Chains A and B, each alone.
Chain A
Amino acid sequence: MSAAPKSEKERVGVYVCHCGTNIAGIVDVEDVALWAKKELGDDGVVISRDYKFMCSSLGQELIEHDIEIEGLTRVVVAACSPHLHEATFRGACDRAGLNPYLCEMVSIREQVSWVTTDKVKATAKAKAMVASGVERVIHNEPLDRMYVPVHPDTLVVGGGIAGIQATLEISNSGNKVYLVEREPSIGGHMAQFDKTFPTLDCAACILTPRMVDVGNQPNVELYTWSEVERVDGYVGNFTVTIRKKARYIVEADCTGCGICWEKCPKKVIDDVFEAGLGYRKAVYTPFAQAVPKYPVIDTETCIYFQNGKCRACEKFCPTDAIDFNQEDEFITVTVGNIILATGYDTFDARRIPQYGYGRLANVFTSIEFERMCNAAGPTDGEIVMRDGVTKPKSVGIVHCVGSRDNRYNSYCSVICCMSSLKFAHVVKERTDAEVYEFYIDMRTAYKDYDEFYQRVLEEGTHFIRGKVAEITDAARQPGEEGKLIIQAEDTLISRQRRIPVDMVILSTALEPRPDSKEVGHKFGISCSANGWFIEKHPKLDPVATMTEGIFIAGAVQGPKDIPTSVAQGAAAAARVLCHIGQEQIELEPVRASVNADKCSGCRICNDLCPFNAILFHEDLMVTEINQALCQGCGTCVAACPAGAITGSGFTNNQIMAQIEGMLMFSESNGMTRVAEPVAA
């Protein structure tokens, strides 16, 4: 089979973009343009131009002008990836009265100039791709835009500061938000902190009001101690199943009075909120200002759940709000858009044994230290050593623990320099200890950050530029006994130094949640190699994802500080509100349809569709495809033995022609063939 005969009537315009030197630097764009006019004339190319920036307004006007004056019926733009500018050029065609789907883009930047070094071969490849674009576009058909209605409700996953911000922005605009949080309370990491850099205002003071707002906002349906179980559907209309884990507390009756956890006899180390530095009861709320105020019973440690005795909480609860028989609930909601703000975890410092965390008592992690500084924390804000009483006389703060290290995380965790400076300040403020900061590079970008660095310098903190080699309790010289010795090269004086200190704080890296891959899969978005979710465009579309209707905000997308997380929360909300405001979203009109006359009723396609878009009419013995359900993957199209199914936008004719185009000049386009043909 070969593509339909080449059309005589189509008038094709070819536009080759220089993209400054991005393309023109490697591909001889002029030559490509001239060549297209000459070699592809028979295929209907009547105009072929090269231009510095096709995406510029002038570039677009060029296309519009040619459509109007030269009567182009097809347009091929050889430039960057269609994922970047397809919409731009389709728009241009549309404005000039040409059906936008009669415009085709060929990616000669991402797929040619940026990945090829040999100019001749690059130009040859560009020509082949232009040819394929031309051959394909001839077979393009005018398509009508497709729209889906947008459900006005939104799902926000993750109740950290980013999720809270997004939730408030959307709910305050009068739209409904379902906020799902895995832990018993919203607040996220920020709730664990004491002070926030660079202004040093207390985290609780600025966070808790927002948490309360979320709790009081009637448009917010809050699901804490809950997780998203499954997600179906697509942009505008997702069906989400939420697992509401049993709290064993009847929320309707609970007043949050706290008697249950006062009376609970079981004290356990709190690995989550207190980062292992403090204790909680088996029935607990993570912290005093928790939203919602309802506690949860941790069945792993609850004496009653473990060996059937106790029930102290039940005995003393004034409102009989304890219900040991409660079970997980499953709630199904429909939403138009989803924002993922599931945040980060911190690096396990035990993975770097030479830093001694877990072995040397007075080595702490940054998150432990945050809890220690916190007035509501395990030490009431006292800065003390592991014995709980002694104030340190000297403190070493180690940067880049698990960051900027190919053996752990090759990226920079962004916040550690600033939080380490914050720690130095806090130690100075609350003790008379000498403070030593060990850093590779001091990264204090953004407003007022470097000013804060200046301030900490003034306070007399010692800065040693060198990545710490090891932390040991093995003394070598007198004066080292009983201390922790931090050994590093002071790279500014090129000497190895051993600094004895009482306490060490490891500024551990920010890492993706361990289950980020599964979560990404659940929501149909992908993670980068190191586990952060991938944004649609790193600069121009940082909160959208490849999947329409799924947005990301905060540290899920990469390490971030509070201001940036808040900004992203708001940004994601804005994107969602835009969808809601439009009430409907345009979709690629890529859909499969059956030509009933051709359909032999063989039913091969019937069980191919995961979206159940294919139905079979027993009476007529023909298959039909439900346009609303079809997602346009084209699997059924490829499978139909009778060729009765067509996939708009990607028809057999289009693809066949594209293949022909790519190969039609293969002998003459610089790909020389020397070896003998193999006997087939």
Chain B
Amino acid sequence: MTEQFEPIIIGFTCNWCSYRAADLAGTARLKYPPNIRLIRMMCSGRMDPTFILKALSEGADGILLTGCHPGECHYLEQNYKALRRYLMLRRTLPQFGIEAKRVKLVWASAAEGVRLAREITTFVEEIRALGPLNWKDSRAYNNGYGVAEVEVSTEVPA
């Protein structure tokens, strides 16, 4: 049996809930796979689909978007906008030959360290099952979609 594939996952967190959930997971010494690296933004609403395509094109195998539960956004309703962009992105990704499953949106409040740790663990396994993306070397990317991504992705009806 060959050594198992270790995916690399970029996680986008909201400063007010999911990033603090990550802090909590830490203080509670919960364990989750090291395959994820988190990036802090003030709000999931800041999430620009370009970031995701950027990460995938730079070699990430999966993207975990996290934010406050609907109705609990620190900025009232911006996580709903994140949700809309996410749904739109899920439709766009296949056009680049990327499985929509590689991007996942998860809600986690500041109290849900356990939940976040669990979601990360499951997502890592899901991506492991999908195998590496290697989009950089893939045909779709070199066909120019990789370059075109900015144009496509910024046409976001917010």
Contacts and interface: CB of A to CB of B under 8 A. Distances in A.
B109 interface: yes
Interface in B40-79: 40-43, 45-48, 50-51, 54-55, 58-60, 71-72, 74-78
Contacts of A610: 75-78
A161 interface: no
Interface residues on A, range: 35 or more
A635 B43 contact: yes
Given A634-B45, A659-B51, A660-B58, A547 B23 contact: no
A599 B49 CA distance: 20
Interface in B1-59: 2-6, 8, 10, 16-17, 19-20, 22-23, 25-27, 29-32, 34-35, 37-43, 45-48, 50-51, 54-55, 58-59
A674 B5 contact: yes
Contacts of A498: none
B98 interface: yes
B54 A659 contact: yes
Contacts of B72: 521, 526
B39 A680 contact: no
Interface in B124-148: 130-135, 137-141
A527 B156 CA distance: 33
A605 interface: yes
B27 to A, nearest CB: 7
Given A110-B22, A631-B75, A680-B98, A675 B31 contact: no
Contacts of A608: 45, 78, 81, 158
A634 B41 contact: yes
Given A534-B110, A655-B51, A677 B137 contact: yes
B37 A129 contact: yes
Would you call the interface of chain B mostly helix, strand, loop, or mixed? loop
A125 interface: yes
B138 A115 contact: no
B150 interface: yes
B103 interface: no
A127 to B, nearest CB: 11
A147 to B, nearest CB: 19
A526 B4 CA distance: 39
A550 to B, nearest CB: 12
B31 A116 contact: yes
Contacts of B137: 677
B97 A115 contact: no
Interface string A625-651: 000000111110111110100010110
Contacts of A501: none
B139 A635 contact: no
B157 to A, nearest CB: 8
Q: Which 5 A-B pairs have the closest CB atoms?
A: A110-B26, A634-B46, A635-B45, A680-B138, A633-B43
12 contacts: A81-B26, A526-B111, A631-B75, A635-B158, A641-B156, A647-B46, A655-B51, A660-B58, A663-B8, A664-B58, A674-B4, A680-B135
Given A650-B46, A659-B39, 19 more contacts: A1-B150, A81-B23, A115-B25, A115-B29, A526-B109, A633-B43, A633-B78, A638-B156, A655-B48, A656-B50, A656-B51, A667-B59, A672-B3, A672-B6, A675-B131, A677-B133, A680-B96, A680-B98, A680-B135
Interface of A: 1-2, 81-83, 107, 109-112, 114-118, 121-122, 124-125, 128-129, 132, 521, 524, 526-529, 534, 546-547, 590, 604-605, 608, 610-611, 631-635, 637-641, 643, 647, 649-650, 652, 655-656, 658-660, 662-664, 666-667, 671-680
